Structure 1
Amino acid sequence: MIVMQRFSQHLISTAFFITCVTAACYSEAAEQKSGSSMQLPSWVESIGQSSETQITESAPEEAIIPVVQPAARSQSSSDSYIKSTSNSSKTAQSSITKPTTATQSKPTLSERAARLFDPEVIKTAWNDLLPNPNEKKSSPSPEKITQKDTASSLGPETSVLKKGESADTPTWQRPLAAAKSLLQTPSNVNETSAIETTGNSANKPKPIASTPDEPTPTAPLSAPIAEAPDETPTLAIDPASFRGAYPGKTTRADIDSEWGPGQAIPRDDGTECFFWEIEPFERVAVTFRDGIVTAIQIKLAKPVPSSELAKQLEIADLRTVAILDDDGSAIGQVFPERGVMFSLETGTYSATAVLLESLDPDSFVLRAEGEMKSSAAYAVADLEYAIEIDSTHLRAHRLLLALMCDEGRWQTALQLAEKAEELGPGDAWTGLKRAEVLLKLDRPEDAQVAIDELIERPNVSSLLASQAGRLRGRIELDKATPDYEQTVDLFTEAIRKATPLAASRSENVRSVAQQVLLDAHLGTAQAIAQGTWQQKNRVIPKWISRANNIVEKIDTKDPSRDRLELDLTCGVLAVAAGSANAIEAVPWVKRLLAIREQMNDSVTDPWRRRQIDWQVGCGLNDALEAARKRGDAEDMLDNATLTVAYLERGAEHRELTAAERRDLGDLMFQIGIMHSLRNSDHATAVTWFDKTIPLWNQNEQVVQDNELGRVGESFISMAISYWQVERRDDAIDLSRTGVDFMVEAVDRQKLEEQSLSVAYGNLATMYAEQGDTEKSQAYAEMATRVESTGSLLR
């Protein structure tokens, strides 16, 4: 397994930093060749080597191999006799309020259209109709792995990143929205060439023949299926017009001047409506508000298949939004970029009328909601444009907030959360999301304040209370000095509240409850692993087993099963990183990679794949830490390289936090050091260091007090490889930067002054080879001085 060493985890003893220095005088060393005299700090030399004090204590068999055991009862746990060695008092879980419903006063897309053409307006509900996959592979069970298995499952040749993106067409339908009929059903159609959807009327398509005697098409109505893009697409915005009239722009005076006076249609909603008999259409109705066109309805002479009509209007390649009635039958089709809507004949897929409106944010939001799971890039583009044309659209902000959290774009997510709270104050879901974002931004105290505001509300629902309690436990666990006993109490209360909800008739409630239960069980195991508890090696596997049982109870055909199993395996590896003796990481690494392969077949959206790859990389990173604690350095270089492959792939669209940049830089630094130490492959080492330095530059997490000395020594170590590949100016710059960090660490009493002897000696050698005798001699004398008179850190 891989050894993962973070700076902060090794600043335990000053003796660890003491570097063995040759007895030769540095003034003589300055004249020697760099390859023989430049040195690495001793802790750097130890990277990739097996520990001499490996863990020898045998853990119980149940702690080595995770097994499925009966789930925990909702009453007091059988393991409640475990006592923390601390005397912290337990904190009672407070209740929080029910979510506040924030509604928008602006009528929805369907409501406005219904008022235009139908006096009856019915309620609307958006439903996610993504069908279950036809077949799912059975989940691999963790098992003991032989050395051969370990190599095959962890070697870089097994990385799923080497496989090409699947070109298969998604097998599911796009979700449809239930809504009231947008248009009345007129009688016939003959030609639509007067409708302009491309902004250029010079090349109008030929009219299509009516097809009243042809059989009605029976294929489902669906938008063109476009391959999910890798980058955020640019929408082809081009509002449609009719005979030069544009909704939202053209005035009534312009219409009267061009078309003549129309016949009035009585309205009681504050708008004016007139119609014209314009051949070859049955009727053209125009609605005005404050003298400006708001909508143009064209009733066709005869029904036309919607696909043919879309081709004639040159909009067949656009993604659409389908509208359903209460019975689930398609009654409308919307083209958001053009502001075009088709009314469909009842029971068929033939258009009977066309409605032109100003570009409407609701249509973009509705389409985004239907595509969030199949194409995050398209959904983000739609939601961003909806906010662009309506900066107060609350639902657009909330959906985009959810996507930004999924993508790990935390700064953007925080801005959206704050705006959503401004638009819909008091909303509990937004408050939970904002707390989650603050936690990811390494602001646990601010996150706790946000959660406490929810906890203090009266009449909280059990579901919201369980979510808040789980998140409050994660916040406590993420603090610099966690109260592990309080953390366990918070997770236990979340489990108590979520357990009965896992059997709810509501699919959404069950899903949320399962997520809370899984994370609370894993969080409890992690708190026990990191804290000082009695009998932890016996108790931790029981919590892991219960978490595993939560996933095992979910139907293998449930589309959420794979994602929950991914959360499970990564959570167990986080526990192993805290207590390697209680959980053997290797079987869970094998299960993690198997799940990733399985999801590679079912997930086609490249953005979703990156999210999964980041999570897999974080799980492997925890496995590295578990291996380090066990003193296991086997296959270290290959395993670390595989971990970085997943993390780099997953980071392509993320906004990495300072802590994430620090940790990724640490891992890349170690890989470079291993290349330089094991194979003297300085050229490859430098390629890794070139990636490391930008991740550390101007990073407050790297240059903290306790990190300064270690960072300085890391720069000194990297400089040697740069020197060996003839990038000597870079080598000297890195060395001097490293010395600056180390000197500041010595001044703050965070590093032994004697540690500077290696850095000064290396600079003396470099300047000697550059022919700068004066600087070489100066650094050699400084090295000798700190070696002989340096004071130890007290």
Structure 2
Amino acid sequence: MIRWITASLRNRSGLRGAASAAVLAAAFGPVGPLSAVDLIGVAESPELSSVLITTRKAEPSDAVTPEHTLEPISQISDYEPELADPLGSLPVAPDTPDEPSAVLQATPEPVTPQVTQTGTTPRVAQLKSAAQPRAASPTVVSDAPSDTDAVRQAKFNGVLPGTTTLAELIKAWGEPFRNTIAQGDLSGKVLSYAMKPFKLVEVLVSENVVRVVRVTLAEPSAIADLEAKLKLVAVDSVDVVDPETARLLGVSYPEKGLTLLTTKSSELAGPARIGSLVLEPLESKAFTLRAENRPWREMTARLADLDRAITLDATDAHAWWLKSVAHLDAGQAEEALQAANEATSLRAGSAAYRLALAQALVATGDIDKGVVTTREVLDDPSAATLVRAQALHTLGSLASLGGSSIANKSIGFHTKAIELADELSTSPDRLTRQTARRVLVEAHLAIANEIARREYKNRDALVADWIGRASGLAEAAIDAEDGDLELRLQVAREAVSALASMRPSKDPSPWVTEAEETAATLLTGSEDPLFKARIAWELGDTCYSAVRVEHIRGDASQALQYGAKAIEQLSAGAEPRITAPLAQRTVGELYFYLGAVNAVHRQNHAEAVGWYDKSQPLLEDVGDSELVTPRRTGEMLVSMGVSYWQEDRHELAISITERGAEVMQKAIDAGVLEERSLEVPYSNLAAMNKSLGKTAEATRYTKLAQSVRGTGAANVAAEPEAPQAVKPQATPVAKRPAAASATQRQAAQPSSTEVRRTPRQAGRGGAVWTTR
């Protein structure tokens, strides 16, 4: 069992009452110049929510007798998806460094941040494992510490930048042969030394302290040789790359305060070679750069880099921003919010930082404020295209939580996010390209789930098409090494979620198998606890959706097997998510469905109430929001009431059924449930009260049941056609490796429609995505 630790929700002030409802409604209005989409105006109509209510076998009756069979709403198939400044460019060693006055030029201004993966900035550096082989070369002398002391800042001939004074330098090395004033933005003076076997050694001194030591080698050397001789193999390095030409400028070792600079001429003839070494005090931006360019799965190491960066410079807004994004990726909601608040307090004008804040607010349950903050990002004319794409996707996901009039705009937001992300999916910058492709995959999957929960013409085929195209985009990104294999797990998870929103549904096992195989591959060789927890949570969420599917299909045995897997995996991934209300709700819903399977399919109410006791507090204690419309919660509570009644817990049965009816009324008011749905809880309450001899209450509920019988249908507008999956003018995507069966994807589709994987056409921003 998951021993869920429910964190105390923060006291939240702000959006409440009628005024807040107006603010939230405005937040989902047209997006400035992007209003051409105008968000696919969909007719307001209740979403599919309770199948049992519309398929009752009992004939209508004007009177409720004591023998009335209580009717659970536990076969609900719920057509609801589950929601969820760089290191400055370093100077390149001159081919012939004979002009010392030009050797220590000022560092160029940092690249202006733009959003990348979940909000990172496109950096032109790529992480290299310290153990990766590189090519080979001559001897270099250094005072570098031993491998066991790899994290200590590097010295050169007894000189430690940031610590050694001018007097100590002169005492150790003697007088320089040249002493010049530093040029450019650098302040201080440059002392030049002739020191064999090096061509030149220069020292920047400012305020009587050594700031930088630059050593120009007699001959360019291979990176691998220098790493071995300087004992750097235990230190993760990060490549520093020219943002315009993608040329390797150097290799940085943040713990050492050391950067190896390449020569221009050697790279033209073959692999880059090192012409000089630069030693500086430990610097925040070096750790930030490495964190930003670490492989996505190195979550713990990324956060360690960012913590070190912030320790060195607590005013590094970029590091705080990346820390917020990293915590969100790891599921750590409160930590993400704290870091996002720090970033925005330091740099309030950054749209990217404010988007991270919005996402952290949502993750901690402050959804209303998250909506308003996301909308502010979209209304910011300075927001970069990729930030806007991410914000549109975020707002689309938030819209799906609202009532009918707001939820109907969800697809439009996602569609516009796809349009903008497509423009950047062929960007020469790796991180920008990766993030754009991730937005494309996620937005396609979000649309598939939104269509799945509604009554659209050709819904089954459309869902299959959107999921198929998401799969194609994911596989194309993986094949191009622009996407982590986790994208495949994400597609499988969302495909099962879509199946759980459809009735009749299909066998989810091919998708679950793919999720399990992908998770196993992802975890091979990984010891990162945060990454392992994330993958376990995603796999557990997949199994939870499979429980819902098998409940719809009436296979209790298979549902309970998936439930056991879901509990195991969610337990393994729960610890980082103890402050995430939406994650808490996922556990609560899993417990409910395990109870419903026992109650409905096995008529085992004793076992059911054991699960319901665990479920009830997790379902309702998820914060207060003007936006979120309770779709399934009311019906779940009503269904629980039946089992509690059967187990002679009469007072609880009545109170929880009454609470369920109240929550259902909210869903009806929001346009996502028909009014006639209330006939079940009212009839149940009439029967319960009559059985207990409470005639007046029984009569009142009987009249209420009669009043709602047959209502709702006449006022429901017909659903429009759902948007077709975007059709690129494209070439076929490469086949997936044989180990990942393509037939598995098709087998679990809600129709026989073939799943097509067609990536975008390369070109200026790729093919223009349009709606068929």
**Distance between the aligned counterparts of 1:504 and 1:352, measured in 2?**
31
1:660 deviates by: 1.7
Structure 1 partner of 2:88: 108
Which segment is superposed worse, 493-502 or 548-557? 493-502
Matched with 2:255 is 337
CA-CA distance at 1:390 after TM superposition: 1.1
Contact kept, 8 Å, 2:366 with 2:623, in 1: the verdict is no
C-alpha distance in structure 1 between counterparts of 2:167 and 2:385, whole Å: 59
Q: Within 5 A, what are the aligned runs for 1:236-247?
A: 237-242=151-156, 244-247=158-161
Deviations 1:90-116 (A, max 9, x none): xxxxxxxxxxxxx68xx8262599998
Q: Does 1:616 align with 2:539?
A: yes
Within the alignment, does 1:570 sit opposite 2:497 as a pair?
Answer: no
Q: CA deviation at 1:241?
A: 3.2
Over 3 Å counting, the alpha-carbon distance change for 1:674 and 1:513 in structure 2 is: closer
Kindly state the Cα deviation for residue 580 of structure 1 after the two structures are TM-superposed: 2.5
In the alignment, what sits opposite 1:270? Answer: 187
- TM-score, scaled to structure 2: 0.57
Indicate which of 188, 192, 213 corresponds to 1:296. Answer: 213
What amino acid is the match of 1:407? A
User: Corresponding residue for 1:557?
Assistant: 479
Say whether the 8 Å CA contact 2:415–2:443 is kept in structure 1.
Answer: yes
Aligned to 2:45: none
Identity of matched residues, % = 21
Match among 620, 633, 639 for residue 556 of structure 2: 633
The offset of 1:641, in angstroms, is: 0.8
Q: Deviations over 1:224-256 (max 9, x none)?
A: xxxxxxxxxxx9642233465432223223434
Letter in 2 for 1:586: D
TM-superposed deviation, 1:379: 1.9
Query: Compared with structure 1, are the counterparts of its residues 640 and 390 closer, same or farther at alpha carbon in structure 2 (3 Å cutoff)?
Result: same
Q: State the match for 2:581 in structure 1.
A: 658
Q: 2:334 aligns with which of 403, 411, 424?
A: 411
What pairs with 1:468-507 in structure 2 (closer than 5 Å)?
A: 468-479=391-402, 483-494=406-417
1:191-214 superposed Cα distances (whole Å, 9 cap, x missing partner): 44xx253699xxxxxxxxxxxxxx
- The answer on 1:286 being equivalent to 2:203 is yes
The answer (yes or no) to whether the contact 2:448–2:498 under 8 Å persists in 1 is: yes
User: CA–CA distance in 2 between the matches of 1:423 and 1:544?
Assistant: 45
Give the letter aligned to residue 259 of structure 2: M
SS, match of residue 181 in structure 2: coil
Cα distance, 1:477 vs. partner? 0.9
Cα distance between partner residues in 2 of 1:112 and 1:655: 48
Instruction: Judge conservation of contact 2:546–2:562 (CA < 8 Å) in 1.
Output: no
Taking the TM superposition and a 5 Å limit, the aligned residue runs for 1:31-70 are none
- Choose which of 124, 135, 138 in structure 2 pairs with 1:127: 124
Do the aligned partners of residues 245 and 649 (structure 1) sit closer, same or farther apart at CA in structure 2, a change above 3 Å counting? same
Instruction: Select the residue among 597, 603, 608 that pairs with 2:517.
Output: 597
1:368 paired to 2:291: yes
Summarize the alignment of residues 748-763 of structure 1 with structure 2, pairs less than 5 Å apart.
none
After superposition, the C-alpha distances for 1:331-365 in whole angstroms (9 at most, x for unaligned) are: 64433212233456746787665433211122222
Distance 1:543 1:695, change over 3 A: closer
Cα distance in 2 between the residues matched to 1:502 and 1:281: 45
Change (3 A) 1:691 1:498: same
Distance 1:10 1:591, change over 3 A: closer
Deviation of 1:389 (Å): 0.6
Indicate how the Cα distance of structure 1 residues 689 and 256 shifts in structure 2: closer, same or farther if over 3 A, else same: farther
Q: 1 CA distance for matches of 2:138 and 2:546?
A: 67
Q: In structure 2, give the amino acid aligned to 1:271.
A: G
**One of 377, 386, 401 as aligned partner of 2:309:** 386
Structure 1 range deviating more: 422-431 or 360-369 = 422-431
CA shift in 2, pair 1:634/1:339, >3 Å: same
Matches of 2:229 and 2:430, distance apart in 1: 42
Q: How far has the Cα of 1:597 moved from its partner?
A: 1.3
Q: Structure 1 CA distance, aligned partners of 2:382 and 2:230?
A: 54
Partner of 2:162: 248
User: Are the aligned partners of 1:526 and 1:575 in contact in 2 as well (CA < 8 Å)?
Assistant: yes
Is the CA contact (8 Å cut-off) linking 2:92 and 2:262 kept in structure 1? no
Per-residue deviation, 1:481: 6.3
CA distance 1:256–1:405, shift in 2 (3 Å):
same
The one-letter code matched in structure 1 to 2:124 is N
d(CA) in 2 for partners of 1:171, 1:590 = 39
SS at match of 1:321: strand
| Partner residue in 2 for 1:586 | 507
SS at structure 1 position matched to 2:163 = coil
**Structure 1 letter corresponding to 2:472:** E
User: How far, CA to CA, are the matches of 1:445 and 1:54 in structure 2?
Assistant: 27
After superposition, the Cα gap between the structure-2 partners of 1:386 and 1:789, relative to the gap in structure 1 and judged at 3 Å, is same
Q: 1:392 to 1:350 in 2, by over 3 A?
A: same
Report if the CA contact (8 A) 2:467-2:495 is conserved. no
The answer on 1:646 being equivalent to 2:569 is yes
CA distance, structure 2, for counterparts of residue 479 and residue 651 of structure 1: 26
Instruction: Please tell me the residue identity of whatever aligns with 1:127.
Output: V
1:117 aligns with 2:40: no
Change (3 A) 1:435 1:116: farther
Deviation at 1:431?
Answer: 3.1
Cα deviation, residue 266, structure 1: 0.8
How far apart are residue 449 of structure 1 and its match?
Answer: 0.9
> Distance in 1 between the 2:283 and 2:578 partners?
30
1:640 to partner: Cα distance: 0.6
Change beyond 3 A, Cα 1:644–1:54: closer
Cα deviation, residue 512, structure 1 = 5.6
Q: Distance in 2 between matches of 1:286 and 1:331?
A: 21
| SS in structure 2 at match of 1:405 | helix
Corresponding residue of 2:361? 438
Amino acid at match of 1:645: E
Aligned counterparts of 1:199 and 1:633: Cα–Cα separation in 2: 57
Structure 2 distance, partners of 1:503, 1:245, is 46
Give me the whole-angstrom Cα distance separating, in 1, the residues matched to 2:258 and 2:438.
40
Q: Which amino acid aligns with 2:255?
A: E
Which residue number in structure 1 is paired with residue 671 of structure 2?
Answer: none
Q: Which amino acid aligns with 1:288?
A: V
Equivalent pairs, count: 567
Partner in structure 1 of residue 97 of structure 2: none
**Higher RCO (CA-CA < 8 Å; seq separation 6+):** 1
TM-aligned CA distance change 1:656 to 1:576, over 3 Å: farther
- After TM superposition, the structure 1 = structure 2 runs for residues 745-784 of structure 1, keeping only pairs within 5 Å, are none
Alignment RMSD = 5.8
Structure showing greater Rg: 1
**Is the alpha carbon distance of 1:470 and 1:459 closer, same or farther for their aligned partners in structure 2, counting shifts above 3 Å?**
same
Q: How far apart are the structure 2 equivalents of 1:462 and 1:260?
A: 55
Q: TM-score, normalised by structure 1?
A: 0.56
Change (3 A) 1:739 1:318: farther
Q: CA deviation at 1:446?
A: 1.5
The answer as to 2:350 corresponding to 1:427 is yes
